[in-house]
Amino acid sequence: MDWPIIVILVTALMAVGIGAWIYTQRRCTQQLRGRFGKEYDRTIEEEGGRGKAEKVLKEREQRVEFLRLRPLTPEDQERFQKEWQSIQARFVDDPKTAVTEADWLVHRVMRARGYPTGDFEQEAADVSVDHPEVVSNYRAAHAIAVRAREEQGTTTETLRQGLVFYRRLFDDLLEVQEPVLAEVRR
């Protein structure tokens, strides 16, 4: 075989390899962006680049894959729903306590589902894998609850927003399915 032909073949193989690598990277990026949504962009900003962020997000997925997450029993769902209703009712008279209790209730629901609890940042990272659309709400609500506990000038409106943010994550974690009513046709 002539050297020019060998050079052309090696160059062509390298081009195909590079093209495949680029395609794979773009596909991975699209999948992660699709799965994590806003959390993808927040992680890029936090990690200082796409490559580092994607590595962190893949590690989160792997970590959560090994957790023994489980759905709540109907009894647990009902019990937690009643606790939430009680917290909401107390908001009018004591908004700070209600937000603090909502924070605690979300932790208990997470623990009941099988999420490890204790370190807030790890909790948020774990939750972001299956609930990326509400993890930013969770971060905001937690920050409000911390400020409320430390008496750092939270307004009633801020506390109300914190409760709303907690409610969104709470509903997602409960995974209560609305009954589907079948249409009866005659």
**Number of independent structural domains in the chain:** 2
Is residue 179 included in any domain, yes or no? no
Range with the largest mean pLDDT of 3-17, 42-56, 83-97 = 83-97
8-state DSSP, 178: P
Same structural domain, 62 and 78 = no
In a domain, 148, yes or no: yes
Tell me the average pLDDT across 42-70.
88
Q: Which of 3-7, 128-132, 157-161 has the highest mean pLDDT?
A: 157-161
Q: Which of 31-35, 100-104, 141-145, 165-169 has the lowest mean pLDDT?
A: 31-35
Query: In this structure, how many other beta carbons lie within 10 angstroms of the beta carbon of residue 116?
Result: 12
For residues 36 and 126, membership in a common domain is answered with no
Q: Are residues 100 and 20 in the same domain?
A: no
Containing domain of residue 88, as a range? 74-174
81 shares a domain with 153: yes
Place of tokens 């999948």: 31
Q: What is the structure's pLDDT at 179?
A: 42
| Sign of the Cα pseudo-torsion (41, 53, 135, 120, in order) | negative
Co-location of 78 and 60 in the same domain: no
100 and 12 in one domain?
no
Among 14, 48, 66, give the residue marking a domain's end: 66
The CA-CA-CA angle for residues 139, 90, 179, to 5°, reads 70
